[in-house]
Structures are given as C-alpha cells and as structure tokens.
C-alpha cells in the first residue's frame, strides 16, 4: 500500500471470468467495503464473485438518465436475469429493466446520481463489463433441482410424491421471500 495505490493478486479463475486482464494502468474500477454483520441492509445481495462478462451493445441517453443494453457472454446466466431483478455490473448493483432471453441481452437504466458515483459512464459501446447475477436465483434453482430430481416412486409414476416435492419448493421459496422482502409467493 501507498498513499494512492495498492497491489492485488489475480488468480487464473479471476482472469478467466472477468475483464480485469484487459485493464490498463490508470483505468478506474469500483471499490466498496463489505457490509459489516449486524448493520442495516437495504439493497441487493451482492458478493463480488463475478459470474461472467457482458458486452455493451447500446448506450442511449434519455433526459438525465442513460440506458445501457448489454449482451451476456454466457447465455446460461439468462435465467437469473429478470425484469425488476438486479444485476451487479463492475461491482455496482443495478435494477434490470428489459430482458431478451433469445438474443441474450438485458437493459439497465442509470439515474443521474448513480452516473456520478460509478465507472459505468466511462464505458463505451463494445466495452466488456463484469457481471454478477442474483445469488438468490441460483440458490432457488439448486434447491428446486435437488428436490425435483428425486420426485416420484421407483417407477416414476407417483403424482402425489411430485406434488409433495413441489410444495417443498414453494415452502422454500416462501422462506427465502420472507427473508428478502417479507412477501409470500403463494
């Protein structure tokens, strides 16, 4: 560490999943301290673990806001990107506006305040950004898949067993929903 610099190591996994290998000396990045346990939480669950990158395919100003259209490099992440959900882009948690699963793109809109506090406005069409999708969506998929994978009797014909498994998934989703925003799914 010095007064205005510090050094970090980058593992091969980080270089494979992020745009960090393309950064040059002097490029800006978003840095943020982790939330301390026990403090009020009022935002999105962001871990800082990058899932992949996305390419900026359109930037469109609208009044004092700016729309960004981004195409993901890994289409397998699209199920976790939903309208009014969130996505972290270069470490900034943002609300998703539109999603096109077939063409693997989504949009976000950045208000004036956010534009002055993050690095995204320094990016251009064609630039790559790091993305982290909603971890709750990944957890829900894992729980749902593991429960449904075992559904049915040995011959696979038990409808009641399947319904019981689906009810378990709904109960799990309600538990997650109550932690996240105090609303039930059903």
DSSP string across 42-93: -S--------EEEEEEEEEEETTEEEEEEEES-GGGGGG--TT-EEEETTEE
Position 153 scores a pLDDT of 46
Position 93 scores a pLDDT of 87
Position 162 scores a pLDDT of 64
Position 26 scores a pLDDT of 72
Position 9 scores a pLDDT of 74
Consecutive 10-residue averages of pLDDT for the chain (186 residues)? 76 71 70 66 67 96 96 94 92 92 96 90 94 86 76 49 74 68 50
């Amino acid at each position: 560490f010095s007064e205005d610099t510090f050094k970090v190591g980058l593992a091969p996994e980080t270089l494979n999943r992020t745009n960090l290998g393309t950064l040059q000396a002097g490029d800006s990045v978003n840095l943020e301290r982790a939330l301390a346990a026990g403090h009020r939480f009022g935002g999105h669950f962001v871990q800082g673990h990058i899932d992949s990158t996305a390419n900026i395919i359109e930037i469109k100003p609208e009044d004092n806001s700016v729309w960004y259209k981004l195409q993901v490099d890994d289409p397998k992440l699209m199920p976790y990107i939903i309208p009014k959900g969130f996505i972290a882009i270069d470490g900034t948690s943002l609300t998703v506006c539109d999603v096109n699963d077939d063409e693997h793109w989504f949009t976000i809109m950045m208000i004036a305040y956010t534009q002055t506090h993050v690095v995204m406005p320094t990016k251009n069409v064609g630039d790559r950004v790091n993305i982290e999708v909603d971890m709750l969506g990944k957890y829900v998929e894992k729980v749902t898949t593991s429960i449904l994978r075992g559904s049915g009797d040995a011959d696979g014909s038990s409808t009641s067993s399947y319904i019981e498994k689906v009810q378990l998934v709904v109960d799990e989703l309600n538990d997650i929903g109550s932690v996240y925003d105090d609303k039930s799914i059903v």
